[in-house]
Amino acid sequence: MPEKEKVTGSGISRRQFIKGAGIVIGGTAVGTSVLLSACGGGETTTVTKTNTTTATATQTVTTTAGGSTQTVTTTAAGTTAYVCPYDNQQFSTLAALQAHLEAEHLGTGAAEGTVVLNVNGKARIVQVEPEWSLAFVLREKLGLTGTKVGCDRGECGTCTVLVDGVTMYACMMFANECEGMAITTIEGLASGATLHPVQQAFFDNATYQCGYCTPGNIMSAVALLSKNPNPTRSEVKEALAGNLCYCIDYTRIENTILAAAGGS
Ligand code: FES
Ligand code: FES
């Protein structure tokens, strides 16, 4: 399935709104989209525009957000106000505006083409096309290349991730289906420099050759051990039945997972 990035022309996206967020500083309106990053977005874009007005006790400033004109009123000369591009509410600090955006706008109904994905415990705002798979978005839009793509048609298991704790083929899910679900990739297992016990067991036992299937194997093993900390060999075989390896002996993989079970 071709997954080429396209620009949609319909509507004003949440990203565009954020890019156009007007920030009124002492009678000067400055727009910036660094908010996107601060709110957990995967990309940082900076757009600056300046409307200079004369500071008075009460004044009206016209600024532009997402291609539409907004008029905001400041109450005192020299006052700094951070303006929500959705509803024009003003906040005295950037942190307050960020909290408002997250509480009132970013976590609810995505603007057309934009989804908020919960990946490894972080909200990631991504503009997606309807046909983009979760695997494509993880790798190409969020830079999480630990998730591999082998067959891209639900046969090999190299793209296995956890969605709400359940193993799923990321190549077979649309990214825009995954909003509101907890997605865990191989990058989300380690705690700092400390590997997850299953990762450590694969490393200690050199349970890989080319390593391409390894992230998928590990994700399936993690899902198994989280529900069944002491599986039998046949339970390990069943849990890993959807993960193909073209290089090494499956018995080695099973032994490693049983060793991880003993140590985790
Ligand atoms: S790449 Fe997803 S199952 Fe093969
Ligand atoms: S180690 Fe190469 S495919 Fe499994």
Residue that is last in its domain, among 184, 199, 216: 184
* Shared domain check, 254 and 166: no
pTM over 0.75: no
Looking at the fold, whether 203 and 165 belong to one and the same domain comes out as no
Asked if residue 253 and residue 125 are part of one domain, the reply reads no
Does the C-beta of 213 come closer than 6 Å to ligand 2? yes
Establish whether residue 168 lines the binding site of ligand 1, counting it when its CB lies within 6 angstroms of any ligand atom: no
Q: Judge whether 7 lies within some domain.
A: no
Instruction: Report pLDDT digits (tens) over 226-263.
Output: 999 999 999 999 999 999 999 999 999 999 999 999 85
Say which CATH number the domain at 219 has.
1.10.150.120
Domains in the chain: how many in total? 2
Contact 224, 261 (CB under 8 A): no
Query: In terms of domains, do 177 and 232 share one?
Result: no
Q: Are both 18 and 66 inside the same structural domain?
A: no
Find out whether the beta carbon of 104 lies less than 6 Å from any atom of ligand 1. no
86 and 23 in a single domain? The answer is no
Looking up tokens 């193993």 gives: 167
Q: What is the mean pLDDT of residues 61-84?
A: 54
**Residue 40 falls within a domain, yes or no?**
yes
Q: Note whether 209 and 252 are same-domain residues.
A: yes
CATH number, residue 110: 3.10.20.30
Q: With contact defined as beta carbons under 8 Å apart, do 72 and 24 qualify?
A: yes
Helix (H) or strand (E) holding 107: none
Q: Whose CA is nearest to atom 3 of ligand 1?
A: 154
Distance CA 21, CA 42 (A): 18
More confident residue, 219 or 107: 219
Give me the percent of the chain exceeding a pLDDT of 90. 55
Range of the domain at 137: 30-144+161-184
- Percent residues over pLDDT 70 in the chain: 65
- Give the DSSP H/E element, type plus range, for residue 125: strand 122-127
134 and 220 within one domain: no
- C-alpha 98 to ligand 2 mean position (Å): 44
Answer yes or no: do 175 and 59 share one domain.
Answer: yes
DSSP state of 73: E
In order, the DSSP letters of 14-72 are HHHHHHT-EEEETTEEEE--HHHHHTT-S------EEEE----SSEEEEEEETTEEEEE
